[in-house]
Amino acid sequence: YVPGSVWALALQMELATRAGVSRRRGMTASVFAIAINVMTGLLLGLAVVPTVVSGRPWLIAAAIALAVVCAVALSPSVLTRLVDAGLRALRRPPVGRRVTWRGLLTASAWSIGSWLTYGMAVWVLTVGVGAPAGESLGLCLSGVALAMTAGFLVVIAPSGIGVREGVFVAALSPVLPPREALAGATRLHCCRPDCRSGRRPRTDPSSADAGHGRSGSMTAGGPVGGSSARCAGERVVDAVLQALRR
């Protein structure tokens, strides 16, 4: 939740070194992953635009044009050039070799699968607060991808807060009137695993993992405020989610 997406990139580089991967190679792979996630997220997310902006043909035309650009970018030659440009912006040497079609398609498949998983999780929550299951499924699958991608691209917003909710509220507007409440519940629902994974488990002081949380959350230096604060945080999340279900 620290403003700027560079922190995730820096953390991925450090984690890569623990697996025996050089920082340079780790950064290159992370930049490729970011580019692929952005392109696939936009491709999936733009599918929701015609439903939300019906009656505005110029917006639909712009969405189609952007989708074509994303599809072209997901080719080895174009994507490698984009990554080289990103690495130059970070003052890093270029890739030096072009990504293969096999690697690109495999990474894209995993990326699309992750977007759909996010969408399905939020769809369950959406149906739980009263949205029609059939109509909301496609909106959730596309809307979540577009919302999370937009939140990532607005680097000044901590974890995309505000941007992510705004896009998701617009995406669900055709099926769910209390949109603001759902957007808040969605963020709390996504934060809840952070609260749980932030609890420091009982570990052996000699363990190499001491000081680091589980499930991808880093708690270097120990939990701030102790486990009691995190338990209180979980109770707040539960209370808000229960209130929104009423």
The answer to which of 38-52, 121-135, 144-158, 212-226 has the lowest mean pLDDT is: 212-226
Q: HEC profile for the chain?
A: CCCCCHHHHHHHHHHHHHCCCCHHHHHHHHHHHHHHHHHHHHHHHHHHHHHHCCCCHHHHHHHHHHHHHHHHHCCHHHHHHHHHHHHHHCCCCCCCCCCCHHHHHHHHHHHHHHHHHHHHHHHHHHHHCCCCHHHHHHHHHHHHHHHHHHHHHCCCCHHHCCHHHHHHHHHCCCCCCCHHHHHHHHHHHHHHHHHHHCCCCCCCCCCCCCCCCCCCCCCCCCCCCHHHHHHHHHHHHHHHHHHHHC
Determine the average pLDDT of the residues in 130-155. 88
CA dist 93 → 5, 98, 237, 239 (Å)? 20, 14, 44, 50
pLDDT, averaged across the chain: 75
Q: How far apart are CA 165 and CA 107, in angstroms?
A: 27
Residue 117, pLDDT score: 93
Would the pLDDT of 237 be above 60?
no
Task: Tell me: pLDDT of 155 over 90.
Answer: no
Pair of tokens at residue 228: 């009691």
pLDDT tens track for 173-191: 888 775 554 665 566 556 6
Q: What is the mean pLDDT of residues 36-51?
A: 91
Read off the pLDDT band of 71 (50, 70, 90): very high
Question: What's the average model confidence in pLDDT over 62-76?
Answer: 91
What Å distances lie between residue 64 and 28, 124, 159, 168, CA to CA?
A: 30, 28, 27, 19
pTM value?
A: 0.70
Most confidently modeled range among 44-58, 140-154, 209-223, 224-238:
140-154
pLDDT in tens, 80-89: 998 888 888 8
The pLDDT of residue 164: 81
Q: 67 or 225: which carries more pLDDT confidence?
A: 67
Other C-beta atoms within 10 Å of 186: how many?
23
Please enumerate in sequence order all residues whose Cβ is within 8 A of that of 9, keeping only pairs 6 or more positions apart, or say none.
27, 30, 31, 34
Q: What is the pLDDT of residue 45?
A: 92
> Would you say residue 229 has pLDDT above 70?
no
Alpha carbons within 13 A on the beta-carbon side of 178: 14
When pLDDT is cut at 50, 70 and 90, the band that residue 41 belongs to is: very high
Between these two residues, 125 and 241, which has the higher pLDDT value? Answer: 125
55 Ramachandran zone, left/alpha/beta (phi>0; psi -120 to 50): left
| pLDDT cut 70: percent of the chain above it | 69
Q: How many CB atoms lie within 10 A of CB 106?
A: 11
Distance in angstroms (rounded) separating the CA atoms of residues 78 and 73: 5
Q: What is the model's pLDDT at position 37?
A: 93
